Amino acid sequence: MKNPIHKFFYINRFGQKNRIHSDFHFLYLTLQFKSIIKEVMRIDILSVVPELLVSPLNHSIIKRAQDKGIVEIHIHNIRDWSKDKFRKVDDYPFGGEAGLVMMIQPVFDCINELTSQRQYDEIIYTAPDAPTFNQKMANELSVKVGDTVSVTVDDKTAELTVGGIYEQYIKNYVFISPKLYSEKFGEEPQFNMAQVVLKNPDEQTAFGEKMLTNDKVAGVTYLSSGMGEIEDMLNSLNMVVLVMIICAAALAFVVLYNLTNINIAERVREIATFKVLGFYSRETSSVIYKENIVLTLGGILSGLVLGIFLTRFIIQTVEVDNVMFGRDILPTSFVFAALLTFAFALIVNFAMGFKIKKVNMVESLKSVE
């Protein structure tokens, strides 16, 4: 008996522009068991809608082939590998385009699990046959899905339609299928680099040394070493952000304290009048407290809105050509900023309460405005 040949089908659903496409894309994993009597082919299909495939795969020639043991078809629901509690596999496109796209994580985990169980001779990832640009490059070129761009390779220029925009934070790439490359540039693509993912990262050194023994391999680069440098850079950046947050918080506290202090100093005769009229200290202080709370809430709302634009401006300013930072602001950031500012307002009110109690009614009423 020969080694089994597996064929793998991946059925994907992707979004483009203002509509959601539900397309069926097949990725063959053929598995043939050759013996003296018969040949068996195994086909695995990944889909987010496996129910739709049950009927067409159980009729006609395919049905008879399964009954005779010539082919085995296994359908896998991609949602079974989702880490979301609602088994979600869709996500919004990076950059805010309309429609939905597939998450890569469930598909990646599903394929990893299947390939760990058997060896596949062919895995076909189906996708739109159009080049995809990363978000950084799309922003620099001011293009969106459906736009046409000119791409030059070795003095040959071709007009390509943007088929998708993907999220990538380091370096800029344009992905194009070999078939489309041949059609547009009139020649077969020359592959000069291969990216390899090892199941056991500890074997990367031995793998690299083995590859270098091949005369056709010019060099080996380990991405893990670069990841360490990136992590150090991000840690340093996080420290800078933390210092900025502390400075902003201290500034907010100082501003609130000074404004409240000036407000009380300018209204000392009014506060003294309240006391003369028989108002309790708590009632007198509540007038100042309520004003501070209202002003604080207004400042929080306006600050959150302005903070969105300021954050985007800062991110775009510090970015370099080959690096892009995420534009998304977590909801927890808004909550944390609002609670921190409100807490400062309460602390200032508490501190100013003692100053209001010390206001001398007689001296304050004698003072000339």
For 123-144, write each residue's pLDDT tens digit: 877 665 678 888 888 888 888 8
For residue 326, pLDDT beyond 90: no
Q: Indicate the helix (H) or strand (E) that contains 123.
A: strand 122-124
Q: Which of 145-149, 162-166, 341-345 has the lowest mean pLDDT?
A: 162-166
The span from the CA of 340 to the CA of 327, in Å, is 23
Q: Considering the chain, what percentage of its residues have pLDDT values greater than 90?
A: 4
- Give, to the nearest 10 degrees, the angle between helix 281-318 and helix 223-266: 150
The residue with tokens 């300021």 is 310
Q: pLDDT digits over 167-202, tens only?
A: 777 778 888 888 888 888 888 888 888 777 777 777
Q: Residue 50 carries which side chain, given as an amino acid letter?
A: P
Average pLDDT, stretch 286-307?
87
The band of 95, judged by pLDDT with boundaries at 50, 70 and 90, is low
pLDDT above 50 (res 17):
no
Q: What are phi and psi of 75, to 5 degrees?
A: -105, 130
Q: Is the pLDDT of residue 331 over 90?
A: no
* 124, two tokens: 């076909």
What is the token pair recorded at 306? 């302005």
Q: Where do the domains of the chain lie, and which CATH numbers do they carry?
A: 6-124 (3.40.1280.10), 132-191 (no CATH), 196-221 (no CATH), 225-366 (no CATH)
What is the spatial distance between Cα 367 and Cα 369, in angstroms, rounded to a whole number? 6
Which residues make beta-bridge pairs with 8? 44, 123
Whether pLDDT at 25 is above 60: no
pLDDT tops 80 at residue 361:
no
Q: What is the pLDDT of residues 42-82, one digit of tens each?
A: 889 998 888 888 888 888 888 888 888 888 999 999 999 99
pLDDT for res 31: 39
3-state secondary structure of 315: helix
Question: What's the mean per-residue pLDDT of the chain?
Answer: 77
Q: Which of 28-32, 113-117, 184-188, 211-215 has the lowest mean pLDDT?
A: 28-32
